[in-house]
Amino acid sequence: MVNDGKMWGIFMFMGEYHHTIDEKGRLIIPSKFRNDLGEKFILTRGIENCLYVYSESSWEQITQKLESLPFTKKDAREFTRFFLSGATVAEFDSQGRVNITSPQLSYANIIKECVIVGVGNRLEIWSVENWNVFMNSAFKNMSDVAENLFNESVML
């Protein structure tokens, strides 16, 4: 059951918003997300050349899962290294902007225009170009993806 963006009492980020990065690397996060992110939140490299934004509580859950991975496994070490080395603690300025680091902008190929997407427990920040490539590909394959992910008992 979804009610005002809350699902079973837990906030769920959703929606697509187009914004621009200013010359100092600052981005306005939509006001509807600011309270749920909290005063401090985490920005990190995501998968597929976008950035992930987590509230502190969601980040804590992610890091607990990462800590449970066996460090003896190369994949675990590589993923943890990639994910955590790109992370920064961020906070909003008085105008609701967040400063995105130069390495993060470079990783996500964000120059000016970007797309902020709510994806459940996180936000994703994409360059417009990367988002359009993803959406064109996803649009073509979505029926196959849905068929592979959901069995007949799951209704969308």
Q: What is the pLDDT of residues 14-40, one digit of tens each?
A: 999 999 999 999 999 998 899 889 999
- The neighbour count for residue 136, using CB atoms within 10 Å, is 10
pLDDT at residue 4, as a whole number: 45
Give 1's pLDDT tier (boundaries 50, 70, 90).
very low
Report the pLDDT averaged over residues 72-78.
95
Q: Check residues 152 and 55 and name the one with the higher pLDDT.
A: 55
- What is the helix, strand, coil percentage profile of the chain, to 5? 40, 30, 30
Residue 96: partners with Cβ closer than 8 Å, 6 or more residues away: 28, 29, 31, 34
Tell me what the pLDDT averaged over the chain comes to: 88
Residue 7 has pLDDT above 70, yes or no: no
pLDDT at residue 8, as a whole number: 44
- The gap from C-alpha 112 to its chain's centroid, in whole angstroms, comes to 18
Residue 41 has pLDDT above 80, yes or no: yes
Residue with the two structure tokens 């918003």: 17
Report the pLDDT averaged over residues 57-66.
94
Give 153's pLDDT tier (boundaries 50, 70, 90).
low
Residue 148 has pLDDT above 80, yes or no: no
